Amino acid sequence: MAQTRRSFLRNTGVGLLTFYVGGCEVEMTPQEAREREIAYGVLTEPEVSTLDALGEILLPGSAAGGLAHFIDHQLGASPEDSLLMIRYLGVPAPFAPFYQGGLAALNALSVSNSNQPFADLSQEVQTELVGQFAQANPDGWQGPPGPFFYFVLRNDAVDVVYGTQEGVESLGIPYMAHIEPPSRWGE
Amino acid sequence: MTVPDEKVDAVVVGSGAAGSAIAAKLAVGGKQVVILEAGPERGNDDLISSGIWARRLKWGGAPVIEDGENPVGNVFNAGYGVGGSAMHHYAVWPRLHEEDFQSRSLYDEGADWPISYDDIRTYYDEVQEECGVAGDAEQETWRPPGAPYPMPGVPLFRQGEILAGGFEKQGMATAPLPLAITSTEYKGRAPCIWDGWCDSGCPIGALANPLTIHLPIALQAGAILATRSTVTRVLTSASGEYVTGVEYATETGEKKQLMADLVVMAAFSIQNPRLLLASSSGKHPHGLANSSGTVGQYIMTHPAALVYGIFAERTQCYMGAFGGQLVNQDSYTKNTHAESGAFGSYQWMIANAVKPNDLLGISNTRPDLFGNDLHDFMKNSAQHFASMTGVIEDLPVAENAVTLSDQLDANGTPLAKVTHTTHAKSKALWQAALEEGKAVFEAAGATEVWTGPQAGMHIIGGTVMGDDPQSSVTNSYGQCHDISNLVIAGSGLFPTSAGVNPTFTIHALTARAGDHLLANWGSIIP
């Protein structure tokens, strides 16, 4: 069931996403969605496994923070409503092929090098692979440009970990939102 | 709001800074005005403070194909929805200098404007009084003549104090950055609380955006604002001598027409030429208002010179305005760095407020870091980071242009293709600025100093104004040389980019154009 544009817009800005559980709208953060094992709408389970593993290398804590649910949810939005940073990085919509192509390329590289999917590699080997495609396309890489894929996914991970009020405050700085400003012009 | 079926006095395409300002002028002047906005409706309640949320303020319309070595970054720089790109602009409002208007005459580089500073000076004064600009005119020793700012300069936080020390040690001056942000209560608007959320849209009226200033004036005076109304073509008379209105697509894709005596194109520097080129006809085979062949040409941006540093003490880098706290224009004279093969002006926006994430956030100043190294960097930088941004003049190049793609959007309009490669002398200026910026940070006591890649800030040109109909699209009021009742508004008119942010000048030019149109309505309208 597709959620309404209004409910999509209403909640995503404050860190909440609207999911459908048992036919009802349920609002939760990406982290809560992960903890409740909410089904994915665009990404497959193997893609999510790769994404979670990649996220943990890019920024530890991002998988538990709901990186996969955040990306999956936003891939279901129209380009106009998308909150993914990729929207202003020159990639034509839809954005799902970019993510899925990059994850497939990473897994193919992993299988080619180690005969295992990326998620099953040791963290040391995962880190080495990420370091490779962050610099240049590895030999045989078949997907979006490796350094660009790294840049986009790294930003998504940063969004999930440090882009929320909780994340900002975890750095010891105040969030200072205008969500409930003391006075609004025009009222 | 409902678009009327009958002919109106003026249709304005786009509701950003230029569109809302011209609509307000014309509506207050007694004209019936309809503003057609391609994007969604937006109110203050939609302006949630979040770098993630703010992405919805960016361009969300038909894709723009970018080409060249230095893309202008359309989606990042353009806006979508009510208020346009001004909803995420940083409200840095310096004036152009006298020499900006005479670059070709004085230096044999760039282009001359069809006006001088004196022609626009009183409009800068009028606009700063209307919109509210905070600054210190006396401390800005580079500032061209004009009325003092109506509000005192913005407060200084620790980051600004530290970097000001670096400039002082280098023998360079600083002054409060002129900002269209309330440093005190101003005309009923609350003072800014310096939370650094400017580019997420300011919902409290502290920042002079269209929702706060000109759209309320326009609507109060009877203007109609229609959203989800995408103009697809400008309509002309059978003779092709004047325009008669526009064709637009509704949210459902239905094509409609709105007839008007005056058409004002205020859809920004890429969509304006796109629509003119897409409105070709037998009478205008190369696009509307394009007898000169220059529609789409001379697209410019400001190459941003990004300088970063870490300091031992805490910087409060999350406080202040996104645009910065201080300004330096010591290198504004255009041949200052001629020995480096550079040409043009630049200014420093000093001590930008930063947030952890997003394209301009702390994390992307070191894109090479990941894993726990990135966590460590974020924790340290949140307390000790500082930055400043150089606004570098981009010389106009005819080949940097908007053209039409073979691809069509959902309404059947060809997509825009934008090509931009920075002129070698502008690249040299960007490099010279970076060297100067690093020296300032080192003098200020930074323990680490580094710089960012070249990035495009603002989009300028594409429908440049001039005295010669053979080499420009419009006259100094934005009236197309070929068609008197077709007017362009916005930064697309600028013949050169100058080395300062464009929005104040957009407003001054628009105010001047509005007065001219109202005073000469009878001779302009067929």
Torsion of CA A153, A110, A128, A158, to 10 degrees: 10
The structure tokens 């920075």 sit at: B422
Compute the count of residue pairs across chains A and B with CB atoms less than 8 Å apart: 159
**Lowest-pLDDT choice from A27-41, A112-126, B296-310, B498-512:** A27-41
Residue A81 to chain B, least CA–CA distance (Å): 6
To test the contact with chain A by mutation, choose from B46, B56, B317 the residue with the greatest count of A C-beta atoms within 10 A, namely: B56
Residue B143 to chain A, least CA–CA distance (Å): 31
Higher pLDDT, A6 or B357: B357
| pLDDT, mean over chain B | 97
Give the containing element (helix H, strand E) for B448.
strand B448-451
The candidate with the shortest Cα–Cα distance to B504, out of B487, B518, B491, B488, is: B491
Which phi and psi angles does B327 have, rounded to 5°? -130, 150
pLDDT confidence bin for A9, thresholds 50/70/90: very low
Residue A62 to chain B, least CA–CA distance (Å): 10
B368/A134 Cβ within 8 A: yes
DSSP B132: T
The structure tokens 């209004």 sit at: A6
To test the contact with chain B by mutation, choose from A9, A152, A171, A179 the residue with the greatest count of B C-beta atoms within 10 A, namely: A171
Q: What's the confidence (pLDDT) of residue B226?
A: 98
> What whole-number distance in Å separates Cα of residue A148 and Cα of residue A69?
21
Q: What's the confidence (pLDDT) of residue B362?
A: 98
Conformational region of residue B407, where left means phi above 0, alpha means psi within -120 to 50, and beta covers everything else: beta
Cβ-proximal residues to A4 (8 Å cutoff; 6+ apart), any chain: none
State pLDDT tens for residues B74-121. Answer: 999 999 999 999 999 999 999 999 999 999 999 999 999 999 999 999
Angle subtended by helix axes A146-162 and A123-135, to nearest 10 = 120
Q: Which alpha helices (DSSP H) does B132-207 contain, by range? A: 158-169
Q: What's the confidence (pLDDT) of residue B334?
A: 98
What is the pLDDT averaged over residues B365-371?
Answer: 98
Strands (E), B215-354: 224-226, 230-236, 243-249, 255-265, 300-310, 326-328, 346-350
> What whole-number distance in Å separates Cα of residue A55 and Cα of residue B16?
38
Name which of B47, B75, B382 is nearest A87 (Cβ-Cβ): B75
B73/A172 Cβ within 8 A: no
> What whole-number distance in Å separates Cα of residue B497 and Cα of residue B369?
35
Q: Does residue A98 carry a pLDDT above 80?
A: yes
> What whole-number distance in Å separates Cα of residue B209 and Cα of residue B85?
9
Name which of B40, B203, B318 is nearest A173 (Cβ-Cβ): B318
State pLDDT tens for residues B415-446. Answer: 999 999 999 999 999 999 999 999 999 999 99
Q: What's the confidence (pLDDT) of residue B156?
A: 97
**Tell me, what amino acid is at B406?**
D
Residue A37 to chain B, least CA–CA distance (Å): 24
Residues of chain A contacting residue B55, judged by C-beta atoms under 8 Å apart: 82-85, 87-88
pLDDT confidence bin for A178, thresholds 50/70/90: confident
Percent pLDDT > 90 in chain B is 97
Please give the span between the terminal C-alpha atoms of chain A, in angstroms, as a whole number: 37
* Nearest residue on chain A to B377, alpha-carbon basis: A171
Q: What's the confidence (pLDDT) of residue A1?
A: 34
Q: Does residue B199 carry a pLDDT above 80?
A: yes
Residue B334 to chain A, least CA–CA distance (Å): 32
Q: Does residue A179 carry a pLDDT above 70?
A: no
Residues 125 to 144 of A: which have CB under 8 A from any B CB? 127, 130, 134
* Nearest residue on chain B to A183, alpha-carbon basis: B204
Residue A39 to chain B, least CA–CA distance (Å): 23
Neighbours of A75 (CB within 10 A): 21
A177/B205 Cβ within 8 A: no
To test the contact with chain A by mutation, choose from B41, B47, B55, B87 the residue with the greatest count of A C-beta atoms within 10 A, namely: B55
To test the contact with chain A by mutation, choose from B370, B385, B407, B419 the residue with the greatest count of A C-beta atoms within 10 A, namely: B370
Q: Helix, strand, or coil here: B246?
A: strand
Q: What's the confidence (pLDDT) of residue B354?
A: 97
Cβ-proximal residues to B238 (8 Å cutoff; 6+ apart), any chain: none
B383/A172 Cβ within 8 A: yes
Name which of B71, B204, B363 is nearest A184 (Cβ-Cβ): B204
Q: What's the confidence (pLDDT) of residue A29?
A: 72
B50/A159 Cβ within 8 A: no
Cβ distance B352 to B388 under 8 Å? yes
Q: What's the confidence (pLDDT) of residue B445?
A: 98
Residues of chain A contacting residue B60, judged by C-beta atoms under 8 Å apart: 79-81, 87
Cβ distance B300 to B497 under 8 Å? yes
State pLDDT tens for residues B217-262. Answer: 999 999 999 999 999 999 999 999 999 999 999 999 999 999 999 9
- Whether A180 and chain B come into contact, CB under 8 Å, resolves to no
* Nearest residue on chain B to A57, alpha-carbon basis: B371
Q: What's the confidence (pLDDT) of residue B45?
A: 87
B73/A88 Cβ within 8 A: yes
Name which of A58, A178, A183 is nearest B49 (Cβ-Cβ): A178
Residues 29 to 48 of A: which have CB under 8 A from any B CB? none
Residue B113 to chain A, least CA–CA distance (Å): 32
Percent pLDDT > 70 in chain B is 100
What is this structure's pTM? 0.94
Q: What's the confidence (pLDDT) of residue A25?
A: 65
A172/B370 Cβ within 8 A: no
Q: What's the confidence (pLDDT) of residue A6?
A: 45
Torsion of CA B358, B364, B369, B372, to 10 degrees: -40
B204/A134 Cβ within 8 A: no
Q: What's the confidence (pLDDT) of residue A36?
A: 75
Q: What's the confidence (pLDDT) of residue A39?
A: 82
What is the pLDDT averaged over residues B346-363?
Answer: 97
Residue A121 to chain B, least CA–CA distance (Å): 16
Q: Does residue B48 carry a pLDDT above 50?
A: yes
Q: What's the confidence (pLDDT) of residue B53?
A: 85
* Nearest residue on chain B to A134, alpha-carbon basis: B368
